[in-house]
Amino acid sequence: MKKVIFWIVILGLVGGGGYWYWQKKQVKTEAAKPSFDKAGVEKRDLRITVESTGEVQPRNRLDVKPPIAGRLEELLVDEGDKVNKGQILGWISSTERATLLDAALATGKEELEYWENLYKPSPLISPLTGTIIARNFEPGQSIAVNDAVVVIADDLIIVASLDETDIGQIKTEQAVAVELEAYQDRNFPGQVEKIAYDAKTVSNVTMYEVDVRPERVPPYMRSGMTANLEFVVEEKTGVLTLPASALQQKKGAGSSVHSDGGSGGGDRPDFQNMSEDERKQFVVKRMKERGMSDTEIQERLAQFGQGGGGRPGMGGGSSGGANGGSRKPRTNSEYFVFVDSGDPENPEEIKVKTGISDGSYTEITEGLEEGMEVLIPRVNLGSGKGSGNNLFMPSRGGGRR
Dump pLDDT digits (tens) for 63-75: 999 999 999 999 9
SS3 state at 167: helix
Q: How far apart are CA 193 and CA 200, in angstroms?
A: 19
Asked, colleague to colleague, whether 50-58+157-237 and 66-153 share their fold, the answer is: no
CATH superfamily, with its number, for domain 50-58+157-237: Efflux pump adaptor protein, beta barrel domain (2.40.30.170)
Q: How far apart are CA 212 and CA 177, in angstroms?
A: 10
Contact 55, 158 (CB under 8 A): yes
Domain 66-153 class, CATH top level: mainly beta
- DSSP-assigned beta bridge partners for residue 241: 42, 363
Residue whose C-alpha is closest to residue 350's, from 267, 244, 248: 248
- The domains of the chain are located at 33-45+238-377, 50-58+157-237, 66-153
Q: List all residues 6 or more positions away from 44 whose beta carbon is below 8 Å from its beta carbon.
A: 238, 239, 241, 320, 361
Which H/E stretch holds residue 160? strand 156-163
Residue 109 pLDDT? 87
Residue 323 pLDDT? 40
Residue 385 pLDDT? 45
| Residue 321 DSSP label | S
Residue whose C-alpha is closest to residue 376's, from 36, 2, 12, 21: 36
- Full strand arrangement of the beta sheet holding 61-64: 61-64, 150-153, 130-135, 82-83
SS3 state at 235: strand
Residue 271 pLDDT? 52
Residue 1 pLDDT? 66
* Spans of the chain, pLDDT less than 50: 253-268, 306-331, 382-401
Query: Does residue 365 come out as left (phi exceeding 0), alpha (psi in the -120 to 50 range) or beta?
Result: alpha
